[in-house]
Structure 1
């Protein structure tokens, strides 16, 4: 059965969509985290507090993205991808991918055995 049709987007279009989604998410999370305006001395204090809450949330998003990148890199390697392919997907060099994930590609992940292991009888 064929998979879902692929949607082709440029990197700029993808980045714009992701930016919009993350902005919306951080604004919602920040809004639910900020105290009521009467807790703050003035509007500038409210703006400052809101911006600092958003910064903290954006840092948490960055950490989450990093974990998701690690998971995807491991899945790609387990599926037979090498450092050149992983680097290309991340817009970094093969060496950059190797530095980011040392030991990710091993002989068992980079060259799946096409020869069956002999069994003793």
Structure 2
């Protein structure tokens, strides 16, 4: 949001998914941090007041706090949330979007769609 170097927090309990998304975002000039749990991400947010990602990509199904729990805790922060899931469920989709999710993508998703969604959440013009 006006930052010269936008960065995204990726919260997914599947390490390979987090790595793949981080590489994909880097290819579009967007930095990213990865977290294997909602708890780890929220711990970082609360322990480091200066840490503020420009956007958060949240997996829905994770042990401990799931993506919807994390989204609720981010409510009012102004940080756009993009929800990703391998198990699309109409009720979960409705809940995520009603709670203010910027986007909702089903795995496997198209790489260019994810990049466009993140760019839109960040207010960045799409890459040509």
- With structure 1 as the length reference, what TM-score do the two structures score? 0.23
Which one has a larger percent helix, Structure 1 or Structure 2? 1
Higher relative contact order (CA 8 A, sep 6+): 2
Larger Rg, first or second structure (1 or 2): 1
Which one has a larger percent strand, Structure 1 or Structure 2? 2
